[in-house]
Amino acid sequence: MKRHIWLAIIASALGFFVDLYDIMILSVVRKPSLLAMGVAEADLLSKGVWLINIQMAGMLLGGFIWGIIGDKMGRLSVLFGSIILYSTATFANAYAPNFEIYLLLRFLAGIGLAGELGAAITLVTEQMPQKFRGIGPAIIGGCGMLGAIFGAFIGGKYSWQFTYQLGGGLGFVLLILRLGVLESGLFNEMKGKTSNRGDLRLLFKNKDYIKKYISICVLGFPVWYVNGVVMTFTPEIAKAWGMTQAPTVSEVVIYYFLGLTFGDLTGGFVSQYFQSRKKAIRLYLSLYALAAIVFFVVGNQSAFIYKALILFLGFCVGYSIVLLTLAAEQYGTNIRATVTTSSLNILRATVIPQTLLFEFLNPYIGTVNSAMAVGVVAILLAFWGLSNLEETFHKDLNYME
């Protein structure tokens, strides 16, 4: 692989590092930041759901905005524009005077965060030789996951204001490295052949395309079930279990993303070994279902067992980076960035219905049973989505829709 490919991989991996740092610190600093703004203890759960969902709503909107820009103006335009927006908004979060401004800034940050990983996966996938396509995203995913661990460490050790300031500053530093990254050759070739780029009508022109797109999105339900429900509301779940020594959110985030780091790295190489994206995803998803059952059976025994099972759940979610590679390989060059970036953020935005379902069920069946019910729905939807997708390991990506 040539030097410009490695530079793209390194720049994308570091970008995903900052991206995940900025996404996950909200869960870590949720309580101290809201308390500092005068939110009552009794309102922390509901206000926390609002913050998570408004950030995800921004990412959902941004996924389509940046995806279309990526197909019309190039993958690099997204890598520069998105990081400027989310770094600025994240830095400004440190100075939010009240909950309303906090919401607005997290919405803007969400729009910016939407473009980072989808554009990076599209760029690297198009630049790499077919037989190595699974390796680049695996490196990006494995290195990027360390950003969440770093965010959990910073958020647990320092003030919530400094946590946001550092996130914004890291993004601006990363811009310098991106100056040497080259545009995708497939995109440059396509520009002279068609003006029909980033057109959503191409994506939704027939029922097979729509079903495939929905299937990609629902495959991400288990990923954001752990992020949005189990990890974020660990204090509430541990309290409902009556745990005397409950793990903190920052500890859980570190264990989860440590597992996810190794899961992403191994997931890409497992798909290379099987020469199949679907076989790798099916293996990891099956392990995830087993891990979720064990978590709800024995997770309340001790803080150590709780964190150990979160670590294993994180490893099993390592299929997520293979899923993004699979998504990029499903469609032609003229809508590839649109599909990859928008589906990634719809995938992330699945936290919205999951947290709302969790909150709705909570008064009726309790915190633990609500979390369990949401997990069952997430896993069943993921297996259904996988069954609808075609295998793409040997697919030539030099074509247009």
The string of pLDDT tens digits covering residues 143-198 is 777 887 888 788 878 899 999 999 999 988 888 877 777 777 776 677 666 667 76
What pLDDT is stored for residue 194 in this prediction?
A: 62
Chain position carrying tokens 């030789």: 129
Asked if residue 394 belongs to a domain, the reply is no
Asked if residue 48 belongs to a domain, the reply is yes
Assign 1 a pLDDT band (cuts: 50, 70, 90): low
Distance of CA 214 to the CA centre of its chain: 17
CA distance 317 to 287: 9
Assign 56 a pLDDT band (cuts: 50, 70, 90): confident
CA distance 109 to 86: 4
101, pLDDT greater than 90: yes
Give the pair of three-digit tokens for residue 338.
């649109």
Asked if residue 145 belongs to a domain, the reply is yes
Domains identified in the chain, total number: 1
- Contact between residue 237 and residue 243 where contact means Cβ atoms under 8 Å apart: no
Within 37-127, residue ranges assigned H as helices are 44-73, 75-93, 99-113, 116-127
Asked if residue 97 belongs to a domain, the reply is yes
Give the pair of three-digit tokens for residue 312.
């294993």
Average pLDDT over residues 48-60: 85
Domain that holds residue 233: 3-182+199-387
CA distance 93 to 101: 8
Q: What percent of the chain has pLDDT over 90?
A: 23
Asked if residue 194 belongs to a domain, the reply is no
Taking every pair of C-alpha atoms in the chain, what is the biggest distance, in angstroms?
65
CA distance 258 to 332: 34
Asked if residue 193 belongs to a domain, the reply is no
Average pLDDT over residues 99-126: 88
Asked if residue 175 belongs to a domain, the reply is yes
CA distance 186 to 180: 18
Asked if residue 187 belongs to a domain, the reply is no
What pLDDT is stored for residue 375 in this prediction?
A: 92
Assign 25 a pLDDT band (cuts: 50, 70, 90): confident
Query: Mean pLDDT for the chain?
Result: 85
- In angstroms, what CA-CA distances link 71 with 113, 206, 209? 18, 20, 18
Amino acid at 374: V
Out of 109-113, 218-222, 286-290, 351-355, least confident range: 351-355
Burial-class residue 266 by CB neighbours within 10 Å (0-12, 13-18, 19+): middle
DSSP conformation class of 390: P
CA distance 200 to 235: 41
CA distance 287 to 310: 13
CA distance 277 to 273: 10
Beta strand ranges found along 166-271 (DSSP E)? none
Residue in 23, 24, 18, 32 with CA at minimum distance from that of residue 160: 32
CA distance 354 to 343: 17
Torsion of CA 342, 348, 353, 359, to 10 degrees: -160
What pLDDT is stored for residue 325 in this prediction?
A: 84
Exposure class string for 18-49: b at 16+ Cβ within 10 A, else e: bbbbbbbbbbbbbbebbeeeebeeeebbebbb
The helix/strand/coil state of 258 is: helix
393, pLDDT greater than 80: no
DSSP conformation class of 2: -
- In angstroms, what CA-CA distances link 331 with 55, 188, 282, 384? 28, 17, 21, 20
CATH number of residue 128's parent domain:
1.20.1250.20
Assign 220 a pLDDT band (cuts: 50, 70, 90): confident
What pLDDT is stored for residue 294 in this prediction?
A: 94
